[in-house]
A = this chain, B = another copy of it.
Amino acid sequence: MGRETYWAEDPDPLLRVGAGFRLADRDTNATPGFDGSKKDGEAALAEGAAILADLQERLFAAGTLGDRRSVLLVLQAMDTAGKGGIVTHVVGQMNLGGVRYAGFKRPTQEELAHDFLWRVWNHVPGAGEVGVFDRSHYEDVLIGRVRGLAEDDEIERRYQAINDFELELAETGTTIVKVMLHLSKGEQKKRLADRLDRADKHWKYTPGDVDERLLWDSYQDAYQVVFDRTSTAYAPWYVVPADRKWFARIAVQHLLIHALEELELDWPKPDYDLDLEKARLAAS
């Protein structure tokens, strides 16, 4: 668990989707690997932010000097599960200059005129970058499947196409971390009600949110298929309990920290003559 001190047990294997995984069996309110309170979790998030920022800077530094590696975080979830909070409170702690964030919305006409992976390629992280997909190509087998936005054959084809795409990224140096924030249907109801009750939250609600909610079970089934078919050794899925926002944040932060620690990033050696440059600077 590297430099983080606050985990009772490494959450990585506890959250990872492996053989026989059943989404329906997972507790959305649990805090796997963490024994503390909400207050402890908030302190942990601040501690982890400094660790994550340091590791991300090392990755970026390496990238400037020829290291081709990168990290890609894929975020998927039902509405209100807390993706926005992850982006603000976890991703936002890193230096934006090295973060490539992409929020995928309803595809444009131009995007629909191409294969579903076309728009995604444009946003994959480059050398030294941490890419963040806020929604992703998985929408094309989630809402795509639930709402029948493509023929059945095409939906079936996409799972393997996704695996091939992610293998291509992994083989060329991208560590892929895929996260589903796992919310209960009851907690979603509370959060949507909150949006309808508060004037400063009305804009976050659209009638489509309830339309999607009415298809809850179909979405859960579609996620199960995603996990069955696309959780691979080179691009594993993690299911993070999300009823407690503070836990989801430290968990996703940990997954990023873990991915970066695995890269064993040293500060790169300078590619210039240190003594010569010190002399030039002194004379300037």
Contact = CB atoms under 8 A, between A and B. Distances in A.
Nearest to A206: B272
A233 interface: no
Interface in A232-284: 267-270, 272, 274, 277-278, 280-281, 284
B210 A267 contact: no
A93 interface: yes
Interface in A83-122: 84, 87-88, 91-97, 99, 101, 103
User: Main SS of chain A's interface residues?
Assistant: helix
A105 to B, nearest CB: 10
The interface size bin for chain A is 35 or more
Residue among A62, A189, A203 having the largest count of chain B Cβ atoms under 10 Å: A203
A222 to B, nearest CB: 18
Contacts of A87: 95-97
A64 B206 CA distance: 11
Interface of A: 53, 61-62, 64-65, 84, 87-88, 91-97, 99, 101, 103, 132, 134, 189, 192-193, 196, 199-200, 202-207, 210, 213-214, 267-270, 272, 274, 277-278, 280-281, 284
Given A193-B281, A203-B270, A205-B272, 7 more contacts: A61-B203, A87-B97, A96-B132, A189-B281, A192-B281, A193-B278, A202-B267
